[in-house]
Structure 1
Amino acid sequence: MRALPALITALALAAGTAACSAAAEDTPDGSGDTPAAPNSSSGSGSGAGGVQQIATGIDVPWGLAFRPGGDALVAERDSGRILRLAPGGQPEPVYEVPGVAAQGEGGLLGLAVNDDWVYAYFTAADDNRIVRFRLTGNAEPEVIFDGIAKAGNHNGGRIAFGPDGMLYVGTGDAGDTGTSQNASSPNGKILRLTPDGDPAPGNPTAGSPVYSLGHRNVQGLAWDDRDRLFATEFGQNDLDEINLIEPGKNYGWPDVEGEGDTDGGRFTNPLVTWSTSEASPSGLAISGNTLYAAALRGERLWTVPIEGDGLGEPRALLEGEYGRIRTAEVAPDGSLWVTTSNTDGRGDVRDGDDRILRLTPDE
């Protein structure tokens, strides 16, 4: 996979702050613009190079996953539609997940691809659940895991296949903080499942899907070239986090927000924290020795160098240029794709929102 270190020098901007209420709930505006054809013009509006707008008019994009052939699948949170976007092509609806009950932060959320199966995490009438399906044949999706409590917020939703071939799932506490420390609840956890949805072999507790616990609302999952799992997590009032995830570890919520173990080494501290006004980190991607964290409230893309066993000083890209940024994924060609999230009821909608951007290193 191609690294993107030149993005840091080509696009880095000074970090600032963005004022938003940490307590506000989503109130989706129901925007249903038809996805527009890609715009091949480059430039970020600040004189920075290496940014290409490739799709506009998408209704609350959330999940983003690439298929082996190089085309992308994009989940629209509120409509329940999945769009396919081929390189140089136009967004095309290819599937609508039945039973999506979009409300607040819930709806069609994360996507993952495994061979010819597409996996989707979504909010249904009674819970959050994971299904899988093929895009051909119009077959009904197969529910592989359900019973994840839902709420107006803290639904988690990111899913990704790890280097071990297992499906990792980031969940939220659904507003009930006690679930995060309850090992019997799937909420407030990172889960590790087989592709069929069963608890993966080798999990910390045999027969349990729980891989790590003590999370508030996991939003991003990514692995480095040493197969180490990192995750982004929303804080409450003070600190957002990036954590190095290790099996069986407890990340402290609700006893701890950010750093500060109050229980004699029981909890694992984050590697990076930000104030909530600077981040609300959602999607996470890693290319080479750089970690990319999409920031919603902070309206920027954070880059964090991977340095040995830790992380270096974060720097901000695209600050304030495109509004809220939800998802970041590395494409098969090594470029970085990011999605905006201004039509989600919290952002300031701009002409053309929401959009997909492609970031490339300087040649």
Structure 2
Amino acid sequence: MRRFFFLSLIVIIAFSLSVQAQIRVGEFPQNVEDEFNLEPEAIEVEVWQQNLDVPWELVFLPKSDRVLVTERDGVVKQIIDGKLQSENYLDLDINSRGEGGLMGMAHHPDFPEKPYIYLMYTYTRSNRTLYNRVSRFKDQGQQGVEEEILIDQIPAGNNHNGGRIAFGPDEMLYITTGDTFNREIAQDLDNLGGKILRLTPEGKIPADNPFDNSPVYSLGHRNPQGLAWHPETGDLFISDHGPSGEDGLRAKDRIKVVKAGSNFGWPDKIGYFEAEEYANPLIMWEEAVPPSGMTFYRGNLYVGTLRSQSLVRIGLNRKNNTFEVEKIEHLFRNANSSIYGRIRTAVAGPDGYLYFLTNNRDGRGRPREGDDKILRFKIEE
């Protein structure tokens, strides 16, 4: 009996190891080397707001001088005519442990005629289980009221919550969700983690979603935190974090171009494979970056990065219906130092400025004087 027990235990351990050791690593898809530019010419950065507490998202409200910013501890602040208001726009009861908390935000595509503000945040249920949800609130000028939950029980954890939300050119709401360090859920269509989700502004499942009666738009992601649509083609770009120890792998953060129904293979594979059933990334980094929020501005893709502490500017060219990477440039960073530290996101403002948010007070950064900040610069066309 004891021999049978030990043989069974060996089989179980061997099976567990075989299940866990299945991440295949492909090639790096881009053919250019990263460049570093600590003080880029023709860019003059100014501080727009400061003394914030881990700002995560910045949203300019149409037809007004109002701007909203989320802070990860559950506060939405309002900026009117460039002045940070003393009273909070919203103060939510959330769980901001680890990488969770109040994250993404968006306004309704028909704002202010349809005065809704959308938020994604982490909360704790009565049984102490963590979840993420997306809700919308009715804008009343000085505050948001009347929470309406659109999608709930998205997996949450101390790490890998995703968290970015944005409306696409099709006026549908896109939501990035992470694998919460439970990597197998990224391939489970019945689980909302490790996915890009797509909903109507009312929280319904669009009839043209790629999987029947499912909010899932794309799967096989680890911790996607950025959404941006190419201004000319409408293609969806996302950023995704690479491994931080799974199967001994690290780094390999990625930028991807996402089609409806595409499966990027996590955790079965990571990187570029020729003639592969899974979709391939556009960029994969050898050193840890991780990329977060991003936007297109003046023809380039700008990506806020965390560990690499730079604003990455990516030059792209479209050839034969595919994108080619022409340049990857880390702004405000060289081999030894970073001017601004951890950057959470980049946002193109309606005034022609590019705005970016620092996150040096998130527990992983080194706060500078006045952190955290919203900074901006303008490049003339």
Q: Does structure 1 retain, via aligned residues, the 8 Å contact 2:316–2:327?
A: no
Counterpart-to-counterpart distance in 1, 2:45 and 2:95 = 34
Give RMSD over aligned pairs. Answer: 2.0
Q: What is the one-letter code of the residue matched to 1:317? A: L
Structure 2 gap ranges (5+): 1-33, 125-129, 244-249
Q: Does structure 1 retain, via aligned residues, the 8 Å contact 2:75–2:92?
A: no
Which of 118, 130, 135 is the matching residue for 1:131?
Answer: 135
- Structure 1 position 269 matched with structure 2 position 280: yes
Give 1 or 2 for the bigger CA radius of gyration.
2
**Cα 1:93–1:219 shift into 2, 3 Å:** farther
Q: Does structure 2 retain, via aligned residues, the 8 Å contact 1:280–1:297?
A: yes
Q: Does structure 1 retain, via aligned residues, the 8 Å contact 2:254–2:281?
A: yes
Aligned counterpart, 1:15? 36
Q: How far did 1:322 drift?
A: 0.3
Which of 221, 225, 228 is the matching residue for 2:235?
Answer: 228
Q: Does structure 1 retain, via aligned residues, the 8 Å contact 2:360–2:366?
A: yes
- Structure 1 position 312 matched with structure 2 position 326: yes
How do residues 202-351 of structure 1 correspond to structure 2 at under 5 angstroms?
A: 202-225=208-231, 226-236=233-243, 237-260=250-273, 265-277=276-288, 279-308=289-318, 309-310=322-323, 311-319=325-333, 320-351=338-369
Counterpart-to-counterpart distance in 1, 2:270 and 2:162 = 17
Counterpart-to-counterpart distance in 1, 2:267 and 2:148 = 33
Aligned counterpart, 1:117? 116
**Cα 1:91–1:358 shift into 2, 3 Å:** farther
User: Scaled by the length of structure 1, what TM-score is found?
Assistant: 0.84
SS in 2 for 1:260: coil
Counterpart-to-counterpart distance in 1, 2:373 and 2:41 = 19
**Cα 1:82–1:138 shift into 2, 3 Å:** closer
Which of 164, 171, 175 is the matching residue for 2:170?
Answer: 164
How do residues 72-87 of structure 1 correspond to structure 2 at under 5 angstroms?
A: 72-78=67-73, 80-87=74-81
Q: What is the one-letter code of the residue matched to 1:242? A: I
Deviates more, 1:105-114 or 1:282-291: 282-291
**Cα 1:91–1:339 shift into 2, 3 Å:** farther
Q: What is the one-letter code of the residue matched to 1:314? A: I
SS in 2 for 1:179: helix
Q: Does structure 1 retain, via aligned residues, the 8 Å contact 2:42–2:379?
A: no
Which of 39, 42, 51 is the matching residue for 2:45?
Answer: 51
SS in 1 for 2:202: coil
More helix by share: 2
Q: How far did 1:86 drift?
A: 3.1
Counterpart-to-counterpart distance in 1, 2:144 and 2:307 = 38
- Measured against aligned partners, the alpha-carbon deviations of 1:223-262 in whole angstroms (never above 9, x if no partner) come to 012111000000011311000010001111111222236x
Counterpart-to-counterpart distance in 1, 2:360 and 2:286 = 21
Which of 76, 100, 106 is the matching residue for 2:100?
Answer: 106
Counterpart-to-counterpart distance in 2, 1:157 and 1:54 = 24
**Cα 1:223–1:142 shift into 2, 3 Å:** same
SS in 2 for 1:313: strand
Q: How far did 1:362 drift?
A: 4.6
Q: What is the one-letter code of the residue matched to 2:55? A: P
User: Scaled by the length of structure 2, what TM-score is found?
Assistant: 0.80
Aligned counterpart, 1:10? none
Q: Does structure 2 retain, via aligned residues, the 8 Å contact 1:95–1:135?
A: no
How many positions carry a matched residue from both structures? Answer: 320
Aligned counterpart, 2:14? none
